[in-house]
Amino acid sequence: MFEKLIPYDAAYLILGDYVNYHHEYKRITKRAKIRFEQRDWLGVQADSRDRVTLYRDKVGETTEKILAFLGDRANDPDTWREIKLMFLEEILNFNSRNIAETYFNSVFRHSHKGLSIDKDLMFVVATGNYREFKSTVPIFHTFFVLEPYEHTIRQLLACYPFDAEYEDLERDINYITDTLQHKLNTLRYTPRNVRIEMIKSMFFRNKGAYLVGRLVVDDRYFPFVIPMLHDERGIYADALLLDINDVSSIFSYNRSYFLVDTDIATELVDFLQTITPTKSLSELYNSIGFEKHGKTVLYRDFLRHLELSGDKFVIAPGIKGMVMIVFTLPSYNMVFKLIKDNFPAPKKVTEKEVKEKYELVSLHDRVGRMADSHMFEHFVCERHRFSDELLEELLKEAPSKVRFVDDKVEIRHLYIEKRMIPLNLYLEKATLEEAEEVITDYGRAIKQLAAVNIFPGDMLLKNFGVTRLKRVVFYDYDEIGFLTDYNFRRLPPARDYDDEWASEPWFAVGENDIFPEEFPRFLIGREDIRQIFQEKHGDLYDAPFWINVQERLRNGELFDVFPYRKRLRFKNVYGKDGGWR
């Protein structure tokens, strides 16, 4: 009887499911504070994983509903055009309108398998700047910094109550005050023009709660971030971070997403960008848990960049991989990776297994050492933007994933992630001092991955990258696995001279057997760098190191891996007398 209302009803079906998703998303997020107070670290990690899978689960449910509701109209473009218009009318005054648009896009893509991006039927281009929505009250507390500073810091901490005791609140107030005083002493400023603005919501990840804000000095912004920890003695402030690079590392694309409660994500992202100016909007949406909208923002940014640039996609520099084709647009700071159709020996993984590895990384604690990536299906770009060499490589190594449609190239499945300098290329040009810094961090990266039960499998330098902050990050996942699934062994002694020089091992080797004593033979080429690594991380060459980590993991221990430099921790800054070191 009211057939013309079908698009409206369909739009509201999607919108209703989005609202339910958003409610469950916020409920998981709000649990984080309770988990922190109860020191339920496994619960925090489980919630982080559940929140990532919640989106895809809800989109899947909505897709089934919408296909059943539309029936024969499910593939009719005119119907979907009307649904989009009806949906837009309903969300125009939503404070989370941008996130709702992304949810609609996901449902549309899941309803139209094999279809590339459709600007007419999807919210490919933003329908507004979303900044027309402002909280009725600010999302941050404001504290004017007046002497004595202790009063300001005490007032600040009082705004973040916990249902658990502090270990020593007065000590923490003194540490924060003293650190603030040292920062202000380095600046020329007008005493009356100093204030601290703190986001009202706390940020939670793993074992930490973060009070995130900014120090405003004569209209200049500096980060003001207090990591809070909770052990058997109580809650305590672990540091005060006032440097952009330190805070940038906390919000890195190589880390798991924060659990932070927010109503208007654009306001939170705008605030964060004032203290992490090197971060893109996409990265910041990812960091606060809206990774699907981060993907939308990334794609929109990519389209704008294509319009403003003219260079061609080329094969990425470095040693070609056996599993992935990696290419880049020189003027853009991302890399594009697609899985080859066939892998040469000795690779034994399948395409399905490689995708599962990427899925594992997306759900696991990346501990600042594994690159985040976005997966795109049916990725389309104009053919003239591809170099001839790259097109030849794509057609040779992955013909099933590439097709030409008129003057465009469509790639069936690829990953996009932040571009880094491959570690092996970095070391080729590095001074000894630069090499020592990154090779030390390379060993630290392997150990921190082990601490969260990850073994890279292939630890060659070419599989790691160096970030802007000279941090070493792993990005080749085809051989990644859980550390506890491997059997670390020492090499059995040779029985005779023939054993020593045999081309094949004289002992049985299982599929998951690892012999760390063999690592020095292939990990590092340069002798001077190899020696540095031996001095800093020689324990990686011995099976007992790995076995010890495995035992601790199996006993349920959660290792402490801090997303900021250890020398900034108050315990390392202050001596027993509480004085500045």
Q: Tell me the two tokens of residue 321.
A: 């991989």
- 579, part of any domain: no
- 289, part of any domain: yes
Range of 494's domain? 423-567
Residues 388 and 453 in one domain: no
Q: What is the CATH number of the domain that holds 325?
A: 3.30.200
Residues 298 and 150 in one domain: yes
- 132, part of any domain: no
Residues 95 and 185 in one domain: no
- 357, part of any domain: yes
Please name which of 417, 467, 131 lies closest in space to residue 273, comparing C-alpha atoms: 131
3-state secondary structure 245-298: HHHHHHCCCCCCCCEECCCCHHHHHHHHHHHCCCCCHHHHHHHCCCHHHHHHHH
Structural domain count, the chain: 4
- 458, part of any domain: yes
Residues 408 and 433 in one domain: no
CA-to-CA dists, residue 59 to 19, 160, 287, angstroms: 12, 35, 21
Residues 104 and 176 in one domain: no
Residues 297 and 154 in one domain: yes
Residues 440 and 503 in one domain: yes
Residue with tokens 């058997």: 232
Residues 106 and 229 in one domain: no
Contacts of residue 153, defined as CB under 8 A and 6 or more positions apart, other chains included, come to 173, 176, 177, 180
Residues 150 and 287 in one domain: yes
From first to last of the 581 residues of the chain, give the pLDDT tens digit: 478 899 999 999 999 999 999 999 999 999 999 999 999 999 999 999 999 999 999 999 999 999 999 999 999 999 999 999 999 999 998 889 999 999 999 999 999 987 778 889 999 988 877 777 888 899 999 999 988 999 999 999 999 999 999 999 999 999 999 999 999 999 888 778 899 999 999 999 999 999 999 999 998 999 999 999 999 999 999 999 999 999 999 999 889 999 999 999 999 999 999 999 999 999 999 999 999 999 999 999 999 999 999 999 999 998 899 999 999 999 999 999 999 999 998 888 999 999 999 999 999 999 999 999 999 999 999 999 999 999 999 999 999 999 998 999 999 999 999 999 999 999 999 999 999 999 999 999 999 999 999 999 989 999 999 999 999 999 999 999 999 999 999 988 766 656 566 666 667 778 899 999 989 888 888 888 999 999 999 999 999 999 999 999 999 998 999 999 999 999 999 965 444 43
- Alpha-helical (H) ranges within 364-431 are 388-397, 423-429
- 117, part of any domain: no
- 129, part of any domain: no
272, 304, 336 - which closes a domain: 304
Q: Tell me the two tokens of residue 424.
A: 């092996």
304, 331, 359 - which closes a domain: 304
CA–CA gap between residue 331 and residue 342 (Å, rounded): 30
* Annotated catalytic residue 476: no
CB of 194 within 8 A of CB of 144?
yes
- Of the candidates 238, 365, 372, 458, the residue annotated as catalytic is 372
- 390, part of any domain: yes
111, 132, 158 - which closes a domain: 111
Direct distance between the N- and C-terminal alpha carbons of the chain, in angstroms, rounded to an integer: 79
Residues 336 and 216 in one domain: no
Residues 165 and 293 in one domain: yes
Residues 165 and 299 in one domain: yes
